[in-house]
Structure 1
Amino acid sequence: MPAFTTQQWVILFLVFVLGWLLGLLSRSTKKWRRAYEAERDARVEEQREHAAAIETAEARIVELERERTAAVARASAAIDPPPASTLDLRRDDLSLIRGLGPEGEQDLNEEGIYRYAQLIGMTRAEEEELEDRLGADRGYVQQEQWREQAQLLQDGEIAEHRARFA
């Protein structure tokens, strides 16, 4: 068996290393490229989803700000007293009306109704709205004749009111 020289051993080692490197490069290039592209695509998709989530959140913020502005306006209107010229501090005894009683009077007061004249001047649509807010059946105000009772009480016809609606 012939003996190799040092120079031959170095050349043989370099050929093996070069073959090994070429083998690695030829096999793994496609695999690593696919992994890189998959990772890149995943990151792009995450960025799109993140941008969509931010857009949805911003739209919700705008909606909530609109609702808040409307609620503040409603609360402000509810808190602000009416002008002094329209402010009437007198209240009629609405509990005298059959079908109301003290609890019903309190409910009407919470709805802003304090006077017989307010009941007398209500339209049919306003009656229905009031019935809905009070949780009463439709037609209850008309059935109990609140307007007629309020008219008699406003005119001071208490005896006739008692005779007709007691």
Structure 2
Amino acid sequence: MSFTLNELVLLLIALAIGWLLGLMMSGRGKYRRLWRDEQIAHREAIKDRDSRLEAANARIAELERQSAGPIGPGTATAVAGAVHGRDDLSRITGISQPQEIALNEAGYHRYGQIASLNAEQEATLEARLGLKPGTIAHEDWRGQAAELDAELNRGHKRGLFGRVTTPV
């Protein structure tokens, strides 16, 4: 039996298609099994994450019960700032947390430093923080910082019972 060239080509194409279909069909169970294993591992990771979150929330609730009250936003940064000799500059309207970090990196840690800025320093800070020129003056950072500094100083002068103490 002899085959013509066209018949040989068609036979080879049929064999190649059969071979590819056979490969695709034989791996189907393997990949489905791997996919199911991956789904199970994902569900377990989600359960583990949820249980850790639940435990953390329970611990936070326990700590809040033990303390005077719940910890509000900004309290942690204020406490950290007091420990490291910094004021919470984000209390100034217009200063975000990332901007406060940039101000600290620029060497501004206290309200008094912001209150005593001159026009040249304002322009430099606006450029460093990516603000429009005149933003610091428009939002009155200096005035706000002066008020916060005065409030902070009044707080330091108060005694244990909230009375203002005077030196004798």
Q: Does the pair score TM above 0.5? A: no
Query: TM bucket by the smaller chain?
Result: 0.3 to 0.5
For the pair shown, which has the larger CA radius of gyration, 1 or 2? 1
Compute the TM-score of the two structures, normalised by the length of structure 2. 0.39
Compute the TM-score of the two structures, normalised by the length of structure 1. 0.40
